[in-house]
Amino acid sequence: MASPAEKAPAAIQKDNVEGSTILPYKRESSSQTDEEDAKRSRIVSPFDDLNIDDDTILHKVTTRNLCPQCNKMMKYFCYRCFCTVGMDRSEIPFIKLPVHLDVIKHEQELDGKSTAIHSRVIANEDVDIHLWRNMPEFESPERTLLLFPGPDAKQLKDIPRDAFDRVAVIDGTWKQAKKIVRETPALQKFQKVTIAPRKTYFWRYQQLSENHLATIEAIYYFYKEYEEAYENSRGRYDNLLFFYRFFYNLIQEKYRSGTKEFCHRHRQGYIQYDASSDQKQQEDTKGSAKEEPKTSGESKSPE
Nearer Cβ to Zn ion (119/200): 119
The window from 31-39, 63-71, 139-147, 289-297 that contacts Zn ion (CB under 5 A) reads 63-71
Q: Is 64 in the site for Zn ion (CB under 5 A)?
A: no
Contact 2, 108 (CB under 8 A): no
Q: Is 80 in the site for Zn ion (CB under 5 A)?
A: yes
Nearer Cβ to Zn ion (70/275): 70
Least CB distance from residue 117 to Zn ion, whole Å?
12
The window from 71-79, 116-124, 199-207, 259-267 that contacts Zn ion (CB under 5 A) reads 71-79
The window from 61-69, 134-142, 217-225, 276-284 that contacts Zn ion (CB under 5 A) reads 61-69
Tell me whether residue 199 is exposed, middle or buried, using C-beta atoms within 10 angstroms of its C-beta: 0 to 12, 13 to 18, 19 or more: buried
Nearer Cβ to Zn ion (58/67): 67
Least CB distance from residue 65 to Zn ion, whole Å?
11
Query: DSSP letters of 166-193?
Result: EEEEEES-HHHHHHHHHH-HHHHTSEEE
Distances from the Cα of 150 to the Cαs of 94, 106, 178, 183, in angstroms? Answer: 32, 20, 11, 16
Alpha carbon 24 to chain centroid distance? 27
The window from 64-72, 185-193, 249-257, 271-279 that contacts Zn ion (CB under 5 A) reads 64-72
Q: Is 73 in the site for Zn ion (CB under 5 A)?
A: no
Radius of gyration of the chain (CA): 20
Q: Is 81 in the site for Zn ion (CB under 5 A)?
A: yes
Nearer Cβ to Zn ion (79/248): 79
Nearer Cβ to Zn ion (80/113): 80
The window from 17-25, 76-84, 88-96, 166-174 that contacts Zn ion (CB under 5 A) reads 76-84
| Residue 52 backbone dihedrals phi, psi, to 5 degrees | -105, 135
Contact 181, 188 (CB under 8 A): yes
Contact 127, 95 (CB under 8 A): no
Q: Is 70 in the site for Zn ion (CB under 5 A)?
A: yes
Q: Is 187 in the site for Zn ion (CB under 5 A)?
A: no
Q: Is 67 in the site for Zn ion (CB under 5 A)?
A: yes
79 closest CA partner among 88, 69, 89, 87: 69
Nearer Cβ to Zn ion (127/167): 127
Helix axis angle, 215-230 to 242-256, nearest 10°: 130
- Beta strand 166-171 pairing with 144-147: parallel
The window from 23-31, 70-78, 207-215, 286-294 that contacts Zn ion (CB under 5 A) reads 70-78
Among 27, 37, 39, 69, binds Zn ion (CB under 5 A): 69
Least CB distance from residue 121 to Zn ion, whole Å?
11
Q: Is 78 in the site for Zn ion (CB under 5 A)?
A: yes
Least CB distance from residue 53 to Zn ion, whole Å?
23
Q: Is 12 in the site for Zn ion (CB under 5 A)?
A: no
Query: DSSP letters of 209-248?
Result: -TTSPPHHHHHHHHHHHHHHHH-S-SSTTGGGGHHHHHHH
197 closest CA partner among 27, 69, 14: 14
Nearer Cβ to Zn ion (72/192): 72
Q: Compute the distance between CA of residue 205 and CA of residue 221 in angstroms, rounded to an integer.
A: 20
**Type and span of the H or E element at 154:** strand 154-155
The site for Zn ion (CB under 5 A) is made up of 67, 69-70, 78, 80-81
